[in-house]
């Protein structure tokens, strides 16, 4: 019996589909059969680094393969991003970044060596990192008396921390001082376009105030400047501010979130503390793969990482660090990056932040 061209086409398509499904199934079954690398846009000892190492340890146990943490901090995350971009699209190299790297960078740098939509595929968000407004505990600016909760930036509530003595002891006083002395109060951030920077810029917009943004090259320099009273305040996470709070050099005034943070229930939200209503800036940290990585591989990584994040021991450990787990599906992360690329672009434009 002679086969028609139409029948040949149908059978060919069915064969290709079967082969594709077979390859995907095989990838899901065999992955990983060699070490996996987590490329981090963060320094050793930071919150994201600590969380990534906890996950890497558990993935190694689950996969029976070594999961290597490769810290490539610096250059606004471009070093780490290039590390993933130059790797094969097979899931054996994953990028750990935040929305500042993939959604904000395109608006604050003139030259961007990547396109999030074309180069990367979401795996899962991992956590939300609470931030506080922080200042030195003595001198002209006082944490408990200087400022109050302002904003979240990582899809994790941020806290307002200030020095433990000073003229401002509430959000209304912070706003009043900023209005009375426009351009005199300063807020720090680890780099231009960071969550701390955009959170401060949003605070200015929502309170109709004008302050000075003081960017630094790294977190350590900024913390020292705040503790030394060279900078009035900043938005900081639990992990970054805790040593200074424990030593009495900084205070946490309010959490920049829509609700109080578990483990820090005594600290009010920005709105509760008298700040702008609805003042929330969300930020997150997540896992990203190369575009073209087999769907089955991404699905497996997502499933295993989410299982780890939802385990009671991991939730307890991260809660103690002031971190809230926040897993997602790959599709949800892709959509989140696309939406925030637009929203952060609008914020950067309103704040008149010039591309560097």
- pLDDT: is 32 or 223 the higher one? 32
What is the per-residue pLDDT for 145? 34
| In the chain, alpha helices (H) | 5-30, 47-63, 78-85, 99, 105-108, 116-119, 143-146, 171-180, 195-207, 219-227, 238-246, 295-309, 312-320, 330-350
Residue carrying structure tokens 């921390």? 161
Token pair of 295, please? 């769907």
What are the two backbone dihedrals, phi and then psi, of residue 240, each rounded to the nearest 5 degrees? Answer: -80, -30
178: pLDDT strictly greater than 80: yes
Is residue 66 over pLDDT 50?
Answer: yes
Give the N- to C-terminal CA distance of the chain in Å, as an integer.
Answer: 69
Calculate mean pLDDT across residues 332-340.
94
pLDDT tens per residue, range 249-293: 887 778 888 888 877 888 888 899 899 998 887 789 999 999 999
Residues 169-195: what's their mean pLDDT?
84
Strand partners, 213: 187
Band of residue 247 on the pLDDT scale cut at 50, 70, 90: confident
pLDDT given for residue 175 in this prediction: 84
For residue 269, give the DSSP letter: B
pLDDT over 70 at 107, yes or no:
yes
Task: State the pLDDT at residue 130.
Answer: 63
pLDDT for the residue 152: 24
Q: Taking residues 295-321, what's their average pLDDT?
A: 93
DSSP state, 87? S
pLDDT at 57: 97
Q: For residues 44 and 254, what is the distance between their CA atoms, to the nearest angstrom?
A: 27
User: What is the pLDDT of the chain when averaged over all its residues?
Assistant: 82
Question: pLDDT at position 10, please?
Answer: 53
Banded pLDDT at 37 (limits 50, 70, 90):
very high
Is residue 125 a contact partner of residue 111, using CB atoms and an 8 Å limit? no
Q: How far is Cα 191 from Cα 356, in angstroms, rounded to an integer?
A: 11
User: Exposure of 73 by Cβ count < 10 A (0-12 exposed, 13-18 middle, 19+ buried)?
Assistant: middle
- Asked if pLDDT for residue 1 goes beyond 50, the answer is no
Confidence of residue 8 (pLDDT cuts 50, 70, 90): low
Is the previous residue joined to 32 through a cis bond, with omega within 30 degrees of 0? yes
Q: What is the mean pLDDT of residues 227-249?
A: 80
Q: What is the pTM (predicted TM-score) of this model?
A: 0.77
pLDDT the model gives residue 147: 26
**Position 137 confidence tier, pLDDT thresholds 50, 70, 90:** low
List the single range of 125-139, 226-240, 283-297 with lowest mean pLDDT: 125-139
Is the pLDDT assigned to residue 75 strictly greater than 50? yes
Confidence of residue 100 (pLDDT cuts 50, 70, 90): confident
Tens of pLDDT, residue by residue over 219-235, are 778 888 887 778 877 88
Instruction: Show the domains of the chain with their CATH numbers.
Output: 34-128+284-350 (3.40.190.150), 131-256 (3.40.190.10)
């Amino acid at each position: 019996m002679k086969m028609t061209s139409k029948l040949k086409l149908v059978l060919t398509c069915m064969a290709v589909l079967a082969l594709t499904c077979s390859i995907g199934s095989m990838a899901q079954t065999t992955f990983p059969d060699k070490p996996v690398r987590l490329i981090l846009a963060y320094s050793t000892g930071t919150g994201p680094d600590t969380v990534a190492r906890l996950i890497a340890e558990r993935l190694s146990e689950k996969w029976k393969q070594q999961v290597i943490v490769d810290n490539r901090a610096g250059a606004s995350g471009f070093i780490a991003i290039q590390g993933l971009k130059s790797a094969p699209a097979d899931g054996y190299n994953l990028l750990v970044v935040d929305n500042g790297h993939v959604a904000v960078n395109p608006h604050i740098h003139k030259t961007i060596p990547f396109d999030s939509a074309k180069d990367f595929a979401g795996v899962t968000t991992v956590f939300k990192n609470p931030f506080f407004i922080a200042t030195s505990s003595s001198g002209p600016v006082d944490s408990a008396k200087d400022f109050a909760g302002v904003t979240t930036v990582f899809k994790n509530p941020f806290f307002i921390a200030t020095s433990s003595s000073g003229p401002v002891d509430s959000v209304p006083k912070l706003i009043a001082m900023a209005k009375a002395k426009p351009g005199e109060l300063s807020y720090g951030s680890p780099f231009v376009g960071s969550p701390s920077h955009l959170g401060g810029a949003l605070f200015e917009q929502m309170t109709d105030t004008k302050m000075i943004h003081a960017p630094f090259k790294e977190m350590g320099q900024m913390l020292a400047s705040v503790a030394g009273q060279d900078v009035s305040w900043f938005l900081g996470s639990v992990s970054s501010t805790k040593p200074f709070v424990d030593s009495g050099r900084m205070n946490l005034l309010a959490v920049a979130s829509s609700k109080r943070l578990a483990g820090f229930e005594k600290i009010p939200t920005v709105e509760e503390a008298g700040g702008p209503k609805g003042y929330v800036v969300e930020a997150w940290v997540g896992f990203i793969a190369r575009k073209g990585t087999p769907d089955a591989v991404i699905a497996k990584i997502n499933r295993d990482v989410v299982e780890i994040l939802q385990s009671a021991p991991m939730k307890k450990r991260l809660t103690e660090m002031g971190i809230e787990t926040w897993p997602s599906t790959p599709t949800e992360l892709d959509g989140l990056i696309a939406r925030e690329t637009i929203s952060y672009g609008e914020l950067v434009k309103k704040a008149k932040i010039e591309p560097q």
